[in-house]
Structure 1
Amino acid sequence: MKKLLFVLLFIPFIGNAQDHQLPEHFSCLEYFMGNWESETTGKAGKGIGKQSFAKEMNGRYITLNVETKFEPSEKYPEGELHIDKGYISYDGFRKKIIYRQFNIEGYVNQYVLDNSKEGIFVFETEAVENVPKGFRARITFEIVDENTFKEGFELAAPGKDYSGCIYNTWTRVKK
């Protein structure tokens, strides 16, 4: 009887421990799951970064955790630290993948995955917080090989074209 009670109590935990597959609408993002390291260049200078993509809540969401440390500069003698947290979801009514990004600087960007093709994923903002009206942002992920992808972050002032801000080359961290 004790064995039966033990089994019944722990069956729910066994089910939750399984690695859930991403839903079909996220299958295009399966490549990115895991931990990554980068070399970064951009307006803030050179830096190194780490990033993780993880499935959450039975694969219903994908979380991103990004941290980049830039080399010391005149403005930041200790070096600038950029942190952002992201949540990717699927809007079933629009049939679109949505990426919400929360930055340490206080900016919040809501991107929609659009204009993508095989191996290239383009997220463009549809809403921004704490930025003057009319500003836009775009993130592009380009798969290079099975363990490397490039990322570009671009900004556009109102009425202007996008210009490069930060570029990363991400390498998969081996387990």
Structure 2
Amino acid sequence: MKKLITLSILILIALAGSGQSNTFARLSFLFGDWQGTGSGFGNNQSTITASYKPVMDGSFIEVNHDSRFQPTSQNPNGEHHTDQGMISFDKARKVIVFRQFNNEGYINQYVLVDSLSTTDFLVFQTENIENFVPGGSARWTIEKKSDSEIETNFYVTFPGRDAACFGTNKLSKQ
């Protein structure tokens, strides 16, 4: 009887541990390396690389974005944007959380909005932004166009104003 109880406990522990990776099943189409172009963000054109990789035994997803913007008359040197982050699962709230750190000094904490997301369209809404206009918010969407193509859009809302799309990226899986 003692062996049966021990075996049952071990099975429950194994199942509980594997549940974490299943939490990210809806994001698995993102896993890998991506390249593409972007428009907006105050510039005409950018080239982008991105990667989404499960790390720490699948407990997190590491996110890296690198965008290089072409020079413009207002910015003859162009711009370089990088951000890094981790996607996790908050067990207490039962939500997917994305913490993003930008080279401009912004730190965004997004949650995946289940009521607005589908299998092929993910909506991440900020619940907190450090070093931004008080009362402002951001939304990041990812649309799966095919197994090898995605489109992301970044929206910003300033207090008392409607959300505006600041940029669109079209990426292909490498």
The answer to which of 121-130 and 111-120 deviates more is: 111-120
Q: 1:21 to 1:71 in 2, by over 3 A?
A: farther
Distance 2:67 2:132 in 1: 21
Q: Report if the CA contact (8 A) 2:20-2:89 is conserved.
A: no
Alpha-carbon RMSD: 1.5
Distance 1:93 1:75 in 2: 47
Distance 1:132 1:164 in 2: 17
Distance 1:110 1:95 in 2: 15
Return 5+ residue gaps in structure 2 as ranges: 1-17
Q: Report if the CA contact (8 A) 1:22-1:55 is conserved.
A: no
Distance 1:89 1:136 in 2: 20
Name the structure 1 match of 2:50: 51
Q: 1:72 to 1:141 in 2, by over 3 A?
A: same
Q: Report if the CA contact (8 A) 2:156-2:164 is conserved.
A: yes
Q: Percent identity?
A: 34
Distance 1:103 1:159 in 2: 25
Name the structure 1 match of 2:101: 102
Name the structure 2 match of 1:119: 120
| Count of equivalent residues | 154
Q: Give secondary structure in 2 for the equivalent of 1:117.
A: coil
Q: Report if the CA contact (8 A) 1:22-1:30 is conserved.
A: no
Name the structure 1 match of 2:167: 166
AA partner of residue 74 (structure 2):
K
Q: Which runs of 4+ in 1 moved over 2 A?
A: none
Return 5+ residue gaps in structure 1 as ranges: 1-19
The one of 35, 39, 42 aligned to 1:41: 39
